[in-house]
Chains A and B, each alone.
Chain A
């Protein structure tokens, strides 16, 4: 194994056996096993007496949650694992964090792994905030000395100073989650495995969490994390892997993984509302070569609408607003009668949005009042491209790619 590789999976597979009875029961009861055994024995005896062939017991079905999964993770890499529900993301994290063992294949891991598959694992409602910090810290693999050292930091991060000696069952759900995340955020393993835990708390706290994760990333630790929250994948990860029905469908750059995930061959997305239908696409001849490109919206509005106005907010991966378009700044839209529809296009001036996800907030207004609003239901992936003479060493940060010229004013000696 090369020196800079910290995780290597070879042909990893995880099989679950689903019995027919197990589908109906949430757990196995001895009573049922005995009853089933007795029934099977009786059936077999009866079959033997009648001189028929033996019928097998309960039919079972194999289900591979993971199959043939091979990949490598380098030290300091932040790998986002994306995939739809049931694609095997959580199973993969469980195997990597030793909670369940693989059915085939092997994983080699170098370094201390801490896994964060849930915030607040082991929290006990009867215990106080202070007690739970120690309990949860120990569960996540911190030593007591480590927790003691970071205690004040954790408390400050969670903003629960006043309630340290209150049992957490009296906490509001916001406080509970903040405390739980604060403990987790102060883990310092060599490899961190995280599952969907960023999508907690209010917007302000989320921002704090993302900053913390960003800090972890920059400290050079290896992070694997699973998420549905696509913007975080972009803002935090350096590479991504797409899982599809238990197999690796793609492993590589973040934006390519995202377009794979969003099934975006034609990079066009459609959104249908009650009175609005809209699709968005990127337009530009030499787009891949780095030329600026336009975003085109095809819109259909259904009547009745008197004085319709359309607002489109363009957000970047981290949820920050890049720009807002208003239909009336380009043209005043006519009224639409009931049963009629109005078709039109909005095309932006050329812009170079940074590779990543653009998500749109839509607001359809009538006489100045919003009648339909949608957030993040329409998204576009801007694939990896580079307008630069020589690609930058580190991934450019920000939501717009700004190119520049360098002019020499003095002779080079």
Chain B
């Protein structure tokens, strides 16, 4: 018979095991978020298609045509932009969905016990479904330009996993803080708006001056986006390894901070919501 002791400040020794035990709830909450998002099928899918497509067109015109920035390798500019937009949209969707997820599920948090990490994590699944749709657009785009991917394309799942982890770190921090300070959510659209220009979404990070490039990679999304381009664009795209490794380290740091922060505040969620 399992014996459970509840005490003030008692650390959950079985936190990760608990999380595993609640995997079905995670699956069903993720499924709920996806089902609700695409329930009005036409609008849901249309939105998922139109938004990245228009963004790609704008970036191609502004950065590619007007500013005449170079693409990477021999890839057409739109394909290069779109390859960078995949992880960027994943990041921005996870950040905005996750940070409002706990407040949105306040009644659940107040009435039932489960590891709270499940809620922001399941909202990340919605972003992954969006990513799958974007990937289909990317493939269509590549077909249109007659651009053939190399063997590196097979590494895409690993990079998607990396992008998800890179998004979850900051997202968990925001989620926890947003429970405590409800007006914090107004900062998130701002972060995303600035982030899209600070990160190499509309342009290639190769245009960044060489001596800045390493430090540019302190932005974890730089490494993630570079990785995506290296993987999708194939041969002509070079990966700047020191920068990529720095971004990886920053991703790991943010993830650790995010989880630690979330777990520290998790106990008081029910009292705050």
The answer to whether A and B interact is yes
B181 touches A30 (CB 8 A): yes
Given A30-B184, A31-B183, A138-B28, A122:B3 Cβ within 8 A = no
Against B, the Cβ 8 Å flags (1 = close, 0 = not) of A87-131 are 000000011111111111111111111010110011010110001
Q: Return the contact of A126 from the options B4, B36, B267 (Cβ within 8 A).
A: B36
B4 touches A30 (CB 8 A): no
Per the 8 Å Cβ criterion, residues 85-123 of B in contact with A are 105, 107-114
A108 touches B113 (CB 8 A): no
Instruction: Contacts A101-B267, A138-B25 known; list 14 others, CB within 8 Å.
Output: A27-B272, A28-B182, A28-B272, A29-B183, A30-B183, A94-B270, A99-B113, A111-B2, A115-B111, A121-B108, A124-B36, A138-B29, A139-B112, A144-B24
Q: How many angstroms between the C-alpha atoms of A124 and B111 in the bound complex? A: 15
Q: How many angstroms between the C-alpha atoms of A109 and B181 in the bound complex? A: 34
Q: Return the contact of A121 from the options B8, B32, B112 (Cβ within 8 A).
A: B112
Where the two chains meet, the residues of B that have a C-beta atom closer than 8 Å to any C-beta of A are: 1-10, 24-25, 28-29, 32, 35-36, 39, 105, 107-114, 180-184, 267, 270-272
B180 touches A110 (CB 8 A): no
Per the 8 Å Cβ criterion, residues 1-46 of A in contact with B are 1, 16, 27-31, 33
Given A33-B181, A138-B28, A144-B24, A101:B39 Cβ within 8 A = no
A103 touches B8 (CB 8 A): yes
Write the nearest CB–CB distance from A32 to chain B, whole angstroms.
8
A297 within 8 A of B: no
Residues of chain A contacted by B32 (CB below 8 angstroms)? 124, 127, 131, 135
Write the nearest CB–CB distance from A289 to chain B, whole angstroms.
43
B5 touches A97 (CB 8 A): no
Residues of chain B contacted by A104 (CB below 8 angstroms)? 8
Where the two chains meet, the residues of A that have a C-beta atom closer than 8 Å to any C-beta of B are: 1, 16, 27-31, 33, 94-113, 115, 117-118, 121-122, 124, 126-127, 131, 134-135, 138-141, 143-144
B111 touches A108 (CB 8 A): no
Q: How many angstroms between the C-alpha atoms of A138 and B25 in the bound complex? A: 5
Given A102-B7, A126-B36, A121:B113 Cβ within 8 A = no
A138 touches B267 (CB 8 A): no
Given A95-B6, A109-B6, A135-B28, A122:B108 Cβ within 8 A = yes
Write the nearest CB–CB distance from B62 to chain A, whole angstroms.
34
Q: How many angstroms between the C-alpha atoms of A30 and B182 in the bound complex? A: 7
B180 touches A28 (CB 8 A): yes
Q: How many angstroms between the C-alpha atoms of A109 and B213 in the bound complex? A: 56
Residues of chain B contacted by A31 (CB below 8 angstroms)? 183
Write the nearest CB–CB distance from A124 to chain B, whole angstroms.
6
B39 touches A29 (CB 8 A): no
Q: How many angstroms between the C-alpha atoms of A124 and B29 in the bound complex? A: 11
Q: Return the contact of A122 from the options B1, B5, B39, B112 (Cβ within 8 A).
A: B112
A-B contact pairs, 12 of them (CB 8 A): A28-B181, A30-B181, A97-B113, A100-B270, A103-B8, A107-B6, A109-B4, A124-B36, A126-B36, A135-B32, A140-B112, A144-B28
Write the chain A residue with the least CB distance to B40. Answer: A126
A111 touches B1 (CB 8 A): yes
Residues of chain A contacted by B180 (CB below 8 angstroms)? 28
Write the chain A residue with the least CB distance to B1. Answer: A110
Q: Return the contact of A139 from the options B7, B108, B272 (Cβ within 8 A).
A: B108
Q: How many angstroms between the C-alpha atoms of A1 and B105 in the bound complex? A: 37
Write the chain A residue with the least CB distance to B110. Answer: A99
Task: Give the 3 A-B residue pairs with the shortest CB-CB distance, closest first.
Answer: A30-B181, A98-B113, A106-B7
Q: How many angstroms between the C-alpha atoms of A126 and B181 in the bound complex? A: 29
